[in-house]
Structure 1
Amino acid sequence: MLSCKEVSYLLSEAQDRPLGVVERMQLELHLAMCKGCTNLRKQMVFLRGAIRRYPPARDDTPHER
């Protein structure tokens, strides 16, 4: 069984690449039993969505030297 630390790593990796079948199975098994990691996944999904909705920065401010 994966540790919470390993699960947090896989949740982060899943944001950037598709997980393999074994990784997904291990992840889902752990999440079925661990409320803390389930909350972490929800938070990561929320933050990723919020970042995508945030407008891009405009670079029209004068720069100081």
Structure 2
Amino acid sequence: MKLSCRAASRLISAGMDRPLTVAEHLKLRMHLLLCGNCRQFSRQLDLLRQAARRAGDGAD
């Protein structure tokens, strides 16, 4: 059930576009509990998504 950082980053990205399955979600959550680098990547991707939404809405 161990997830590599590469697989985790793919799931983080996929989770932005579609709902993850229960198994994917559990694997990712377990990985994020143990991996600070992937937690940071997840936060950064979320910030980029929020910024893109604001830019698309014309907000400053």
TM-score scaled to structure 1, two decimals? 0.83
For residues 20 and 39 of structure 1, the distance between their equivalents in structure 2, rounded to whole angstroms, comes to: 22
CA apart distance, 1:55: 4.0
TM-score scaled to structure 2, two decimals? 0.90
Alignment partner, residue 35 of structure 1: 36
Unpaired stretches in structure 2, ≥5 consecutive residues: none
Superposition CA RMSD, Å: 1.4
Are 2:48 and 1:47 aligned?
yes
Alignment partner, residue 11 of structure 2: 10
Higher helix share: 2
- Greater than 3 Å deviation, 4+ residue runs: none
Which one has a bigger Cα radius of gyration?
1
What is the number of equivalent residue pairs in this alignment? 57
CA apart distance, 1:56: 6.3
Unpaired stretches in structure 1, ≥5 consecutive residues: 58-65
Quick one: percent identity of the two aligned structures?
Answer: 40
